[in-house]
A and B are shown apart, each in its own frame.
Chain A
Amino acid sequence: MTVANQVTLLTERGCAVVRLHGDVDHVNAGQMEIEVLTTTRAAAGVVVDLTAVTYLDSAGLSFLDRVVAVFHNRQARVRVVAPADGVVRFTLDLVGFLPELLAPTLDEALDGLLRLAEDDPDSGTVR
C-alpha cells in the first residue's frame, strides 16, 4: 500500500509543513513514518498538519510519538496541527499528548515555530 497520496510536503513562511490526509492507523502508520521522516530530513522547523486526518488510532499515536522524538534529535522544532473539536484532537487529548506541541490551525503552528526561531536564530527555518 502506498501512502504517497496521503502525505503532502509544502513550505509555508519558511517552515516545512507535512500535511497528512485520511486515516492514520495500523494499516499505514509505518509507511507514513518513513515518508514523513525522509521528506523533512533537512528541515529545521516542521509542522505536522493533521487537519485533513479523519482517523487516528494507537498506531498513528505511536507514529506521532516517534516522529516528534526524531525531530527533537535532529534539533528541529516541531508543531502538530489538530483542529479543536476534531476527532484527532479528541484522541490526542485522550492520551495526554503534549499540549505545547499542539496548535488548532496551521497559522498558529507557524507563529509558534517562528517565535521560537526568533528566540534562537540559529535554527527553526528551512535551510
Chain B
Amino acid sequence: MSADPPAEHIGPLTESAEELYENAPCGYLSILPDGALFRVNQTFLDWTGHRREDLLSRRVQDLYGVGSRIFYETHLRPLLHMQGEVRGLAMEFRRADGTLLDTLVNATLRGDPATGSTVLRMTVFDATDRRAYERELLAERRRAERTTVRLRALQEMVLRCAAIERATELVDPIIEAGTAAFGAATTTVWLLDIDGSVLTDASAGHDDAASIALDSPAPQARAARNAELVGPRQGEVADQVSTPLAADDQVLGVVSFGFATARPFDDDEIELMRTLGRQAGQAMERARLYEETTRRAWQSAFLARLGRDLDEPVAPADRARRLVSLVVPELAEYAQIDLVHDDRAGWLAGAVPPAAPDPVGSIGPAGPWPLTDLVHETIRQVQTSGEARPVPLAAPDGRPAVGLPLRARGEVVGTLLLAGQALMPERIDAEFLLDLADRAGLALDNARLAERDREVALTLQRSLLAGERPIDSRFHVTAVYRPAIETLEVGGDWYDTFVTARGSVGVVVGDVVGRGVRAASAMGQLRSAVRALAQAERSPATVLQHMDDFVATLEAGQMATLAYAELTLDTGRLRYACAGHPPPLLLSRDTGPSYLWEGRSGPLGTRAGSRRRREAELSMPVGSRLLLYTDGLVERRGERIDEGLSRLEALADRWDTPLVSLTEQISDAMLAGDGGHDDMCLLALAFDGAPRFDAEIPADIGTLRPLRTELDRWLASYTVAERERYRVVLACSEAVANAIEHGYQRDPAQLVRVSATIDGNTVELRVHDAGRWRAPQATRDRGRGMALIGRLMDDLIVDRGEGTTVLMRRTFREAGR
C-alpha cells in the first residue's frame, strides 16, 4: 500500500491490480492442494481480524467453523476435484476472536502447467446479513409450526368435549390438551364447588382430592377470583400458569399447567391457554346443562313411577315394601322405612343389597337398623324449623347414609333411611330426595288412612258376621267369609242365621253394591231388616217384597242381592227365594248336589228386573246340606259363571267331610289360582233332624257321671259297640269338664249344652258353653283333656266365638252288637 500513488491522482485508471486485489469487496484466498494458505488479501484480514503472518503458516481447514470443516472435507474438496470449481457455498470462518463469520464462497482449482502443481483460488463474500435473515425466517416458521400443533391440540380437545355428556369426563381431554399443546408436565383441573368457595382437584379420585379455598393466595384461587389468567409477566420465566375455566362470565373452575423447568411464554401461548380455559369452560357448561336436563328427566320419570306404583290400594306395610323395592338399588343399597305411630317409631320395611336372594322385606343378619331417638329428634327438628333437608347419618356398618323426613299433611309421619351408593349418584340431589320423601310420606299416610277406614269397615262387617249362632241340635250352620285378596278392601258380602219363633231356622246370604264403610253399614241395616221381617212374615217371597220397600229408603241397599231360605225343623220343609242372587246348592246324600233354580226374581229395589217376588219349596232330607254363597266364590276373570258353578258342584259332593272342613276346603279350592278378586262368603246349613241326644246340664262337675251314663245308654240304643261308646263318652265327658271348669269356672247356675246326632255310623257331638273362656290355671291338665279327645275322635273343631263350641266326630270302626 505504501507504493500507492497520491489520492488526487487516483482515477479509474490509476487503480493498480495489486490495490484492487488487496481491497477488493470480497476476501481472496490462494490455497495449496494440502490446504496451506499462501496468499490472502487485506479484505479477508479485515473481516476476520487475523494477521497475515498468522494465516500464511496455517491451513484453510483450521479457519472453518466446525460444521464448515466437515462440509469442506465431505463436499467441497470432492466437488472441486471433480468439477474444478464450486459456487455460492455457505461457509463459516472463525474470526480471530473466536466468533464465526457467515460467508458465501466461490472456489476454482487451477493447474500451473509450468510447475505441474495446482492452486485453489477462493473468493469469500460476507453473508452475515443474509444468514441472519434466513435464521429469522426459520425461527418464524418453527413458531408457526408450534402454534399449529397447539391449535390442533386445542381443536382436538374442543372436538372431544363436544361429544361429552358428563362434566367430569371433560377432565381427561383438558389434561391431554395441556400436555400436547404446551408441554406441561402436569395439568390440573380445579372445579369450583356449588357454593363457589372451594376449588377441588377434579382429576383426582373423590376421597383424596386436593382442594384450595377460593380466598387463598394460591395462583389457582387468584385466577378463579379475578377470572383472569395468572402467569409470568412479559420477559419473565415461570413454571406454572393458571387460567380460569369459564363459560360466559361465570367461572366454573381453573386449569393450571405445571412445567418441569421455568421458561418464558410468548403472547400467543398465553392467549392459547386463555382460549383453552374458555373452550373447556363452555364445554363444561354445556355438559352440565345436559346433565341437568337428563337428571331432571330421570328424576321426574322416577317420581312418576313411584306415584303410580304406590297408588295401588294396598296396606301401609305393602306400600312401604314397594317403596323400598323401588329405591333399592337405584337410589341406595339399603333402604328402611320407619313410621311414627303415636310417637313410637316402628320399623316397617327394609331391604339389603340386591345380592341377597330376596331383596324386599328381608333384612340383613343384624336386622333393621334401630333408628335412635336422636335421629328422630333431628328429623323432627328439621321439620319444625320448616327447613326440610336430608340428615346425613352413618349406618351401623359404616356406610354413609341419609335420613329423610317422610311428611304428610304438615306432619312428619316417619323416616326413610337410604344407605350405601346409588346406581347413578350424579342423578340424585337433595331436592329430589326431599321431593321423593314427600311423595312417599303422603302415599304411606294415605295407605294408613285407607287402612283405618278398612279396619272400621272390617270391624263393622265382623260384628255383623259373628252374630250369635243359634244352637239347636236339629241343624248346624257354618260360614266362611274371605275379603278380596288383592285389595283387602271390605266388600258388601254378608250372611246371617237365626231361629224363628215358629220352630224354623232362617239362613240368608247377601251382597251389597259398593265397598268400605258405606257398604258395611248398608249390610247391617239389610241384615236387621231381614231378621225382623222373617220373624213376622211366613214366606220368603213376602220377606223380599217388604225388603223392596225397605231399600227404597236406603240408598246403599239399592240393587243388593240376597238368597234367603227357611227350614222348618220338625218337618224338613225348605222354602227359599233368590233376589238377583246365585242359586243355593242342595247337597242330598241320595240325589247328589243340585242347584235350586226356582224362586228367582231381580235384585232388591230393581226397576229393570222382576219385582214380583217368587219363592220355591221342597223337602230337605235329614242329613242333607244347603250351601248359600256370593258370586265372589264362583266368579273368576275370564271364566263363564256356569263353569264356576260346575266346579262348586263337584267340590261340594263330599259326604265324608265334616261341614266346617267342607266350607273351608271349598273356599280354598274355589279361590285358588285366579280367584279372590272379590270378597266372598259361603254358608252351609246341615239338617240333622232326629235322632239326637240333647242335654243341658249345670256347670257342676258332679253332673259328669249321670251325663256319661245317659250318653252311653243313648249310644247303646243305636247298637254302637262298647269300646266305641267308651271313646265317645270319654271324649264328651272331657269336653264337658273343660266347659265346666274353664268356660264357667264351676258356676252351677250356668248351663252346658250337649247334643249328639248319629248319621249312619258317624256320631257327631257338640258341647257348647256360653261362658267367657279364661286361660286355665293348670294348662297341662286341660291340654291333656283336649289331646285325649283328639286321639279318641276323628275330628275335633273348637269354635270360640260367643262362648265355646266343641264339635267332635267319630266314624265307628267296630261293628255294634
Question: A62 contacts which chain B residues (CB < 8 A)?
Answer: 780-781, 784
Distance (whole angstroms) from the CB of B742 to the closest CB of chain A:
12
Chain A, interface size category, equals 10 to 19
Q: Cα distance A90–B708 when bound, in Å?
A: 18
Which partner residue on chain A sits nearest B702 by CB separation?
A: A27
Q: Does A55 lie within 8 Å of B723, measured CB to CB? A: no
Q: Cα distance A58–B788 when bound, in Å?
A: 7
Q: Does B781 lie within 8 Å of A58, measured CB to CB? A: yes
Question: B784 contacts which chain A residues (CB < 8 A)?
Answer: 58, 61-62, 95
Question: A61 contacts which chain B residues (CB < 8 A)?
Answer: 784, 788
Tell me what chain B mostly uses at the interface: helix, strand, loop, or mixed: helix
A59 within 8 A of B: yes
Q: Knowing that A55-B730, A57-B730, A58-B788 are A-B contacts, what are 16 other residue pairs whose CB atoms are under 8 Å apart, sorted by A's residue number? A: A1-B702, A23-B705, A25-B705, A26-B737, A26-B741, A27-B705, A55-B708, A57-B734, A57-B737, A58-B737, A58-B787, A59-B737, A90-B723, A94-B788, A94-B791, A95-B788
Residue-by-residue, is B695-722 near A (CB-CB < 8 Å gives 1, otherwise 0)?
Answer: 0000001101100100000000000000
B792 within 8 A of A: yes
B726 within 8 A of A: yes
B785 within 8 A of A: yes
Question: A59 contacts which chain B residues (CB < 8 A)?
Answer: 737, 781
| Cβ < 8 Å to A, chain B residues 284-319 | none
Question: A95 contacts which chain B residues (CB < 8 A)?
Answer: 784, 787-788, 791
* Total cross-chain contacts (CB, 8 A): 50
| Cβ < 8 Å to B, chain A residues 38-87 | 55, 57-59, 61-62, 87
B733 within 8 A of A: yes
| Cβ < 8 Å to B, chain A residues 19-42 | 23, 25-27
Question: B780 contacts which chain A residues (CB < 8 A)?
Answer: 62
A91 within 8 A of B: yes
Question: A91 contacts which chain B residues (CB < 8 A)?
Answer: 730, 788
Distance (whole angstroms) from the CB of B10 to the closest CB of chain A:
158
Q: Cα distance A119–B576 when bound, in Å?
A: 78
Q: Does A26 lie within 8 Å of B730, measured CB to CB? A: no
Distance (whole angstroms) from the CB of B704 to the closest CB of chain A:
6
Distance (whole angstroms) from the CB of A26 to the closest CB of chain B:
5
Question: Contacts A94-B791, A95-B787; is A58 near B734 (CB within 8 Å)?
Answer: yes
Q: Cα distance A26–B703 when bound, in Å?
A: 11
Q: Which of B726, B737, B741 contacts A90 (CB 8 A)?
A: B726
Closest 5 CB pairs between A and B? A58-B785, A58-B784, A26-B737, A58-B788, A94-B791
Q: Cα distance A25–B473 when bound, in Å?
A: 27
Which partner residue on chain A sits nearest B781 by CB separation?
A: A62
Q: Does B726 lie within 8 Å of A26, measured CB to CB? A: no
Q: Cα distance A26–B776 when bound, in Å?
A: 15
| Cβ < 8 Å to B, chain A residues 71-124 | 87, 90-91, 94-95
Q: Cα distance A119–B669 when bound, in Å?
A: 63
Distance (whole angstroms) from the CB of B696 to the closest CB of chain A:
19
Question: Contacts A87-B726, A90-B726; is A27 near B792 (CB within 8 Å)?
Answer: no
Q: Cα distance A22–B444 when bound, in Å?
A: 67
Question: B741 contacts which chain A residues (CB < 8 A)?
Answer: 26
Q: Cα distance A104–B784 when bound, in Å?
A: 24
Which partner residue on chain A sits nearest B723 by CB separation?
A: A90
Distance (whole angstroms) from the CB of B651 to the closest CB of chain A:
34
Q: Cα distance A23–B29 when bound, in Å?
A: 159
Question: B726 contacts which chain A residues (CB < 8 A)?
Answer: 87, 90
Q: Does A94 lie within 8 Å of B702, measured CB to CB? A: no
Q: Cα distance A62–B781 when bound, in Å?
A: 7
Q: Does A27 lie within 8 Å of B704, measured CB to CB? A: yes
Q: Cα distance A58–B733 when bound, in Å?
A: 10
Which partner residue on chain A sits nearest B789 by CB separation?
A: A58
User: 29 A–B contact pairs at CB < 8 A?
Assistant: A1-B702, A25-B733, A26-B701, A26-B733, A27-B702, A55-B708, A57-B730, A57-B733, A57-B737, A57-B785, A57-B788, A58-B734, A58-B781, A58-B784, A58-B787, A59-B737, A61-B784, A62-B780, A87-B723, A87-B726, A90-B723, A90-B726, A91-B730, A91-B788, A94-B788, A94-B791, A94-B792, A95-B784, A95-B787
Question: B733 contacts which chain A residues (CB < 8 A)?
Answer: 25-26, 57
Question: B723 contacts which chain A residues (CB < 8 A)?
Answer: 87, 90
Question: A57 contacts which chain B residues (CB < 8 A)?
Answer: 730, 733-734, 737, 785, 788
Q: Cα distance A108–B5 when bound, in Å?
A: 179
Distance (whole angstroms) from the CB of A31 to the closest CB of chain B:
12
Q: Cα distance A25–B707 when bound, in Å?
A: 13
Residue-by-residue, is B790-809 near A (CB-CB < 8 Å gives 1, otherwise 0)?
Answer: 01100000000000000000
Distance (whole angstroms) from the CB of B373 to the closest CB of chain A:
50
Residue-by-residue, is B716-750 near A (CB-CB < 8 Å gives 1, otherwise 0)?
Answer: 00000001001000100110010001000000000
Q: Does B704 lie within 8 Å of A25, measured CB to CB? A: yes
Which partner residue on chain B sits nearest A87 by CB separation?
A: B726
Q: Does B791 lie within 8 Å of A26, measured CB to CB? A: no
Which partner residue on chain B sits nearest A63 by CB separation?
A: B781
Question: B781 contacts which chain A residues (CB < 8 A)?
Answer: 58-59, 62
Q: Cα distance A27–B701 when bound, in Å?
A: 6
Which partner residue on chain A sits nearest B780 by CB separation?
A: A62
Distance (whole angstroms) from the CB of B408 to the closest CB of chain A:
56
Question: A27 contacts which chain B residues (CB < 8 A)?
Answer: 701-702, 704-705
Question: A55 contacts which chain B residues (CB < 8 A)?
Answer: 708, 730
Distance (whole angstroms) from the CB of A11 to the closest CB of chain B:
31
Question: A23 contacts which chain B residues (CB < 8 A)?
Answer: 705
Question: B704 contacts which chain A residues (CB < 8 A)?
Answer: 25-27
Q: Cα distance A94–B734 when bound, in Å?
A: 15
Which partner residue on chain B sits nearest A96 by CB separation?
A: B791
Which partner residue on chain A sits nearest B784 by CB separation?
A: A58
Which partner residue on chain A sits nearest B703 by CB separation?
A: A27
Question: A94 contacts which chain B residues (CB < 8 A)?
Answer: 788, 791-792
Task: Kindly name the residue among A25, A26, A95 whose own CB sees the greatest number of chain B CB atoms within 10 A.
Answer: A26
Question: A1 contacts which chain B residues (CB < 8 A)?
Answer: 702
Distance (whole angstroms) from the CB of A85 to the closest CB of chain B:
9
Question: B734 contacts which chain A residues (CB < 8 A)?
Answer: 57-58
Q: Cα distance A117–B726 when bound, in Å?
A: 37
Q: Cα distance A62–B730 when bound, in Å?
A: 15
Question: B792 contacts which chain A residues (CB < 8 A)?
Answer: 94
| Cβ < 8 Å to A, chain B residues 90-146 | none
Which partner residue on chain A sits nearest B791 by CB separation?
A: A94
Q: Cα distance A55–B706 when bound, in Å?
A: 13
Distance (whole angstroms) from the CB of A60 to the closest CB of chain B:
10
Distance (whole angstroms) from the CB of B747 to the closest CB of chain A:
16
Question: B730 contacts which chain A residues (CB < 8 A)?
Answer: 55, 57, 91
Distance (whole angstroms) from the CB of B582 to the closest CB of chain A:
46
Q: Cα distance A118–B111 when bound, in Å?
A: 157
Which partner residue on chain B sits nearest A25 by CB separation?
A: B704
Question: A26 contacts which chain B residues (CB < 8 A)?
Answer: 701, 704, 733, 737, 741
Distance (whole angstroms) from the CB of B538 to the closest CB of chain A:
47
Question: B791 contacts which chain A residues (CB < 8 A)?
Answer: 94-95
Which partner residue on chain B sits nearest A29 by CB separation?
A: B781
Distance (whole angstroms) from the CB of A73 to the closest CB of chain B:
18
Distance (whole angstroms) from the CB of A93 to the closest CB of chain B:
10
Q: Cα distance A83–B155 when bound, in Å?
A: 111
Distance (whole angstroms) from the CB of B786 to the closest CB of chain A:
9
Q: Cα distance A57–B788 when bound, in Å?
A: 8
Which partner residue on chain A sits nearest B785 by CB separation?
A: A58
Question: A25 contacts which chain B residues (CB < 8 A)?
Answer: 704-705, 733, 737
Residue-by-residue, is B361-387 near A (CB-CB < 8 Å gives 1, otherwise 0)?
Answer: 000000000000000000000000000
Q: Cα distance A57–B792 when bound, in Å?
A: 11
Which partner residue on chain A sits nearest B787 by CB separation?
A: A95
Distance (whole angstroms) from the CB of B782 to the closest CB of chain A:
8
Q: Cα distance A62–B708 when bound, in Å?
A: 20
Which partner residue on chain B sits nearest A27 by CB separation?
A: B701
Residue-by-residue, is B737-779 near A (CB-CB < 8 Å gives 1, otherwise 0)?
Answer: 1000100000000000000000000000000000000000000
Q: Cα distance A1–B701 when bound, in Å?
A: 11
Q: Cα distance A58–B704 when bound, in Å?
A: 13
Distance (whole angstroms) from the CB of B781 to the closest CB of chain A:
5
Residue-by-residue, is B475-508 near A (CB-CB < 8 Å gives 1, otherwise 0)?
Answer: 0000000000000000000000000000000000
